Amino acid sequence: MDDKTRDSLLVTAKTIAVVGASPNPSRPSNWISDYMINAGYQVIPVNPGHDQLFGLKCYPDVESIEMDVDIVNIYRRSDQVVPIVLSTINKSSVQMIWMQDNVYNEEAAEMAETAGIPVVMNDCIYRVHSRLIR
């Protein structure tokens, strides 16, 4: 996906599912989620080990989320991405899958793009967003 399309989707998105959300404030999935909430996004934590995170209902997987999701932001190891993407493909509202820094999986990206969902790999949503709002 080109940068212009990525940036446009990020700016128009309202809802971000954060896969691998953590209660630990030193983890990027925690403090970047807080940043995105303060930037006006509806953040939906996804972590099967928790019922709530950030004071919000936490879901075990993307498919279980009861509302539309614009972006699925993945904070998991690269070798764990395929099942997440498969769950995401079944969520018709998703406009983009975002794999954070050091997360990339060509097989998962190909599956998502074949399903019509553009993919960002090995990039930080916080870094891109903060650059866009300057």
Residues 16-72: pLDDT tens digits? 999 999 999 999 999 999 999 999 999 999 999 999 999 999 999 999 999 999 999
Q: Is the pLDDT of residue 1 over 90?
A: no
Ordered domains of the chain (ranges, CATH): 3-132 (3.40.50.720)
Residue 26 exposed, middle or buried by CB count within 10 Å (0-12, 13-18, 19+): exposed
pTM of this prediction?
Answer: 0.96
Question: Mean per-residue pLDDT for 120-129?
Answer: 96
- On the question of pLDDT at 99 being above 90, the answer is yes
Does the pLDDT of residue 80 top 90, yes or no?
yes
Q: Where are the beta strands (DSSP E) in the chain?
A: 15-19, 42-46, 52-53, 56-57, 71-74, 96-99, 119-120
What pLDDT score does 90 carry? Answer: 87
Q: Read off the tokens for 70.
A: 């614009």
